[in-house]
Structure 1
Amino acid sequence: MKNIILITFVALLTTSCATTYLIHQYKDPETGFFESNKLFIIGLEGDFKLREQFEKSLVHAFEEENVRAVKSIDFFEDSFTKEKKTIEELNEIEKTLLNAEFDAILLTKVTGTEKRYYTASMLHQFMTSNQTFEDYYYGNQYEYLREKGKKEDYTVYTVETSLYCICPEKERQLLWRGEIEVTDTDNTKKNIHNFIKTLFKSLRNNDLILIH
């Protein structure tokens, strides 16, 4: 029975590697509930196809929640992210957004990539009280297998998202910023879906944009 419980727990822990987590967040203490009338979505990503897929998925997710959102790819020319902008140029861009009735900007970028290694034997080692040599060796023999090319590592992306208000009375105010860890599943669509799920949960918990 003990072995069944242990195997089940290990399986659950292994599955959890394919999830996303909110690791840090900040909310402006003076901001209560904030509801955007028109949200501008920016994905700071050099890969145009990936940026397009990300922005399209995020806009679609917001629209399903009855939030009006627009992709930066649709609003600006391709040069928007390819050319460095001065402060003066960014001020003009903000005025353009205000004139187009946007009141908030959601900006997302990948800030880090990390390779991690999942060691199932660590769990086995600490959960077994009367551990025999056979138990310990069986749980740690993956070390030999790893040398033969058995893949046990996975990639984690740290994704930072910032929500800015560009309302006339609160220009450029940072309302919320969060860092979300996204585990790579080798499926870009699924990675984006997992990110959006965690992002939306965080926005709801902070009374931002989305209705509970």
Structure 2
Amino acid sequence: MNKLYLSLLIITGLFSACTSSELVENWKNPDIDTFEAQKVLVIGITPDENARKVFEKKLAGELKKNGVKAVKSLDYFEKSFTNSPKTETEVMSLESQLIEKGFDAILLSKVLGVEDKVTVVKAYRNLDKTFDSFRDDYYENQDIYYDEDYYSAYQIFHAESSLYCICPDKERELIWKGSIDITEPENIKKAVSDYVKVLVWALKGQQLLIIEEMTDEGIDI
């Protein structure tokens, strides 16, 4: 077990104790030590447009504070883009357009609802379904946009963020994904703020997008 992963494991409990969001699982491509991007598209998939606006604005803002050039999908997509499902061909075309516009990474976040801690355990088994590309992930989960009752019965939200490389000179692949529990979803602003804090902290810890100098003790922050 490397020192970075051990450090993350030890301080996860301390970090989550003061927030309504908790990192419960994360995976990093073993072939990648660090990953920097020239331009990142931030996408939040949710049927709640207000929550999406709050989330994308908060996350893009935090990334910018850390020196990352981030663009909200709400600023990039045409307003009608999410009004109807897109075919795989259309999503492939979107990737090509993004590359032409100078994007080389996508940070995609989506919320998967679970009713209680018993079903949370069952839900984690679904994490075995890993999407190797942004195209497949977006295509398979875009129906969340259109289901207004998607979250109505849930008390605990299970969310997942995935970082994809769409670098023109490299294979388009999954760089990292993290699963985060949200225990106070009824307060949108607090839930979003806490989620973004955990997500940014996790990216820093894995040396992804936000690159910081490391010491023998772990992250030098």
Is this contact kept in 2: 1:204–1:211, CA < 8 A?
yes
Aligned length: 162
Residue-by-residue CA offset, 1:113-147 (whole Å, 9 max, x unaligned): 3346xxxxxxxxxxxxxxxxxxxxxxxxxxxxxxx
Aligned equivalent of 2:199: 199
Residue of structure 1 in register with 2:183 after alignment: 183
Work out the CA distance in 1 between the residues paired with 2:88 and 2:55.
26
Question: Structure 1: which 5+ residue stretches go unaligned?
Answer: 1-14, 117-153
The whole-number CA distance in structure 2 between the counterparts of 1:160 and 1:81 is 19
| Contact 1:20–1:180 (CA under 8 A) maintained in structure 2 | yes
CA contact (8 A) 2:27 2:178 kept: yes
How far residue 87 of structure 1 moved from its aligned partner, in angstroms, is 1.5
Alignment of 1:77 with 2:75, yes or no, is no
Letter in 1 for 2:113: G
Distance 2:43 2:114 in 1: 20
Q: Verify the 8 A CA contact 1:36 1:209 in the aligned structure 2.
A: yes
Matched to 1:160, the amino acid is: E
Unpaired segments ≥5 residues, structure 2: 1-15, 118-153, 213-221
CA–CA distance in structure 2, aligned partners of residues 185 and 104 of structure 1? 28
Pairing 1:26–2:27 present: yes
SS of match in other structure, 2:23 = strand
Which structure would you say has the larger Rg?
A: 1
> Aligned equivalents of 2:201 and 2:38: distance in 1?
19
What secondary structure does 2:31 align onto?
coil
TM-score (norm 2): 0.68
Which of structure 1's runs of 4+ aligned residues deviate more than 6 A? Answer: none
Greater mean alpha carbon deviation, residues 20-29 or residues 93-102: 20-29
SS in 2 for 1:46: coil
Residue 113 of structure 1: aligned partner: 114
Distance 1:74 1:182 in 2: 26
> What is the TM-score when the length of structure 1 is the normalising length?
0.71
Q: Secondary structure at the match of 2:115?
A: strand
Over 3 Å counting, the alpha-carbon distance change for 1:48 and 1:19 in structure 2 is closer
Aligned to 2:208: 208
* Superposed counterparts of 1:35-50, under 5 Å: 35-50=36-51
Measured in 2, the distance between the counterparts of 1:179 and 1:205 equals 15
Give the whole-Å Cα distance in 1 for the aligned partners of 2:74 and 2:158. Answer: 23
Q: Does the aligned pair in 2 maintain the 1:40–1:72 contact within 8 Å?
A: yes
Moved more, 191-200 or 178-187: 178-187
Aligned amino acid, residue 190 of structure 1: K
Query: Which residue identity is paired with 1:85?
Result: K
Task: Assess if the C-alpha contact under 8 Å between 1:156 and 1:182 holds in 2.
Answer: yes
Task: Measure how far apart 1:50 and its partner are.
Answer: 1.4
For residues 75-105 of structure 1, give each alpha carbon's deviation from its aligned partner in whole angstroms, at most 9, with x where no partner exists. 1112222211111111110111001100000
* Alpha carbons 1:18, 1:185 under 8 Å: kept: no
The DSSP-based 3-state class of the residue aligned with 1:106 is strand
Q: CA deviation at 1:18?
A: 4.9
Task: Report the 3-state secondary structure (helix = DSSP H, G, I; strand = E; otherwise coil) of the residue aligned with 1:52.
Answer: helix
Q: Counterparts of 1:146-185 in structure 2 under 5 Å?
A: 155-184=155-184
Q: Is the 2:42–2:70 Cα contact (8 Å) retained in structure 1?
A: yes
